Structure 1
Amino acid sequence: MPSDKQAGYAHISGEMKGEERSEMYGKIHYEIHGLTSPDAPTVVFSSGLGGAAKFWQPQLADFTQGYRVITYDQLGTNKSVGDLPATYRISDMANELAVLLKKLEVQQCHFVGHALGGLVGLELGLTQPNLLKSMVLVNAWSSPNPHTLRCFDIRKTLLAADRKDMYLQLQALLLFPPDWIAANAAHLEEEEAHLLNHFPDVDNLLARIGALSAFDIDDTLTNITTPTLALANKDDTLVPWQRSKLLVDAMPNAELSVMKYGGHASSITVPEEFNKLVLEYLARIA
């Protein structure tokens, strides 16, 4: 079990750049688990499109034994209140996380990012590499690809039609393997009913989809020198595992690990295997 937990809010302010410039203010909810000393090795977990700190619940028991673990709700999601402009970008998310870590007096950390969260890590690797001791990028990508964009176009169409129930059912299909969905059908139905009653702000959700759809750093991947594990899943329905191979082929200090099973959200479906792979990598880096 996690040895300790602290939670709080960090106030974030900044100027968003785009066709229109607007001031954005909000507050980011964060949680600190495990070791309490600021000198302890720190792992920061960054979630995908949902942005929720609770996505990483299956990791806490294993990682808090040897690390100070920071999870957070990304701005405009869950407990992190903020209105996102249509011009919102991954660079804004990276800046927000950097501000949060500065407020928490984190000098350097191991970073674990899932999908959109991995994009945040890549942006930090370009703009604030001294903040990162290592990165684990889970089913991430460096540029748009037609298959993933098609999946997100369907999501946007469901939102436009106000079919939030179908949006949530599609989400399960994109995140989890078919046999896992069948074995956990009752749990998923209960969770989807809860999420339907607490559905995220649609404008914020669309802004986040726009940000991940526009992300493209193929031309600068060679500049990211942070030691990196690109962790992919062969059976990922949303992001082809070859997108992780493209990262490794371009980044000078990156290596690839491909899991045969687990779907897009293997940190949830096979947490024991996922945790073991990541912890072994962090131990080697240390």
Structure 2
Amino acid sequence: MQASPQIEPHYIRIGTPGAPKVVFAHGWGRSHRDFIPVAEALAPSIDAYLFDLPGHGKSERPDEPWGTADYAEFMARYVTGALQIPKCVWVGHSFGGRIGLRLGVQSPGMLDHMVIVAGAGVPRTVNAKDRWKRKWNGRKFQKLKAQAGTVDELIELEKRFGSPDYVMSRETGMRDIFVKTISEDQSADLPRIPTPTTCIYGGADTETPPEIGRKIASLVQNGTYVECPFYDHISILDRGRHQIALAIKEAVAK
């Protein structure tokens, strides 16, 4: 691992001690709060640990630019070591889903089941027109960036050409980690995941569209794909919370 292993991640615990363990990991730039409604709804039947991933929420950032493999190694060590949880259900939204997929390869023995909610980790299909547009925009951004005379001008360019997460990563001091993790393609590793995996995606999600979920579900050995029509990347956590809760209930009942 590249960064200090002494990070003490912030987490809250909701549920019933002695019940099946469920670990929740949020998306990029978000926090444990996203999963509180689901954890509270299932509190009588699970023992839930809701984390702020390193660099997010109340958890300090790594000393070095971690990739998702580093995050997975850290979380495996903390969950099984510091918390003494040998087996759990992993529930990850977006970035937390990326980390879950890494865990499925690196530490499958700690996982009873994974619930990947709008998770990233594999590239979407891009047609020739969109590829050309991305390439053209990238070149234009780099040209204008070189001409920017002030930080304010650079920030305005980033807002014009970059995603909201890319823009926010400057404000949070996480740009290096964002750039490293966003480009990762886990496609080749996914067939090595033996853990039963439920992939839940919103039909209106433009950040991690249904195509991504179908790819992941088809590549892992025991993947199931569930689509929630009309939900986007964030509303899947709210309006789709009942589907997430159902997937967790089914996982812990096995």
**TM-score interval w.r.t. the shorter chain?**
0.7 to 0.9
**Change in CA separation of 1:252 and 1:272 when aligned onto 2, cut-off 3 Å:** closer
Amino acid paired to 1:93? Y
- Pairing of 1:60-79 with structure 2 (within 5 A): 60-79=39-58
Q: Where does structure 1 lack aligned partners over 5 or more consecutive residues?
A: 1-14, 17-21, 175-198
- Residue number among 84, 105, 117 corresponding to 1:105 in the alignment: 84
Compute the displacement of 1:159 (Å): 9.5
Instruction: Provide closer, same or farther for how the CA distance between residues 218 and 271 of structure 1 changes in structure 2, counting only shifts above 3 A.
Output: closer
1:44 and 1:112 in contact (8 A); partners too: yes
The alignment status of 1:26 with 2:7, answered yes or no, reads: yes
1:92 aligns with 2:70: yes
Q: Which residue number corresponds to residue 232 of structure 2?
A: 263
1:202 and 2:202 matched:
no
Of 180, 186, 190, which aligns to 1:211?
180
Superposed counterparts of 1:180-259, under 5 Å? 202=171, 204-259=173-228
Relative to structure 1, the CA distance from residue 224 to residue 275 in structure 2 (aligned partners, 3 Å threshold; closer, same or farther) is closer
What is the aligned partner in structure 2 of residue 181 from structure 1? none
Counterpart amino acid of 1:92? D
- Please tell me whether residue 118 in structure 1 is matched to residue 97 in structure 2: yes
Contact 1:49 1:116 in 2 (8 A): yes
Partners of 1:43 and 1:27 lie apart in 2 by 19
Q: Quick check: 2:20–2:252 contact (8 Å CA) kept in 1?
A: no
Question: Partner of 2:120: helix, strand, or coil?
Answer: coil
The residue type equivalent to 1:225 in the other structure is P
1:256 shift after superposition: 0.6
| C-alpha distance in structure 2 between counterparts of 1:88 and 1:159, whole Å | 28
Normalising by structure 2, report the TM-score. 0.78
Residue 275 of structure 1 and its aligned partner are, at CA, apart by 3.8
Supply the RMSD in Å over aligned alpha carbons: 3.3
| Conserved 8 A contact 1:77-1:200 | no
TM-score of the aligned structures, taking structure 1 as reference length: 0.70
8 Å CA contact retained: 1:90, 1:123: yes
Query: Residues of 1 paired with 2:152 and 2:212: CA distance?
Result: 27
Deviation, structure 1 residue 136? 0.6
Q: What is the SS of the residue equivalent to 1:219? A: coil
Equivalent position of 2:34 in the other structure: 55
Counterpart contact for 1:35–1:66, Cα < 8 Å: yes
Percentage of pairs with the same residue? 21
Q: Counterpart in 2 of 1:11?
A: none
Q: 1:61 to 1:36 in 2, by over 3 A?
A: same
For structure 2, the 5+ residue unaligned runs are: 146-150
Matches within 5 A, 1:173-184: none
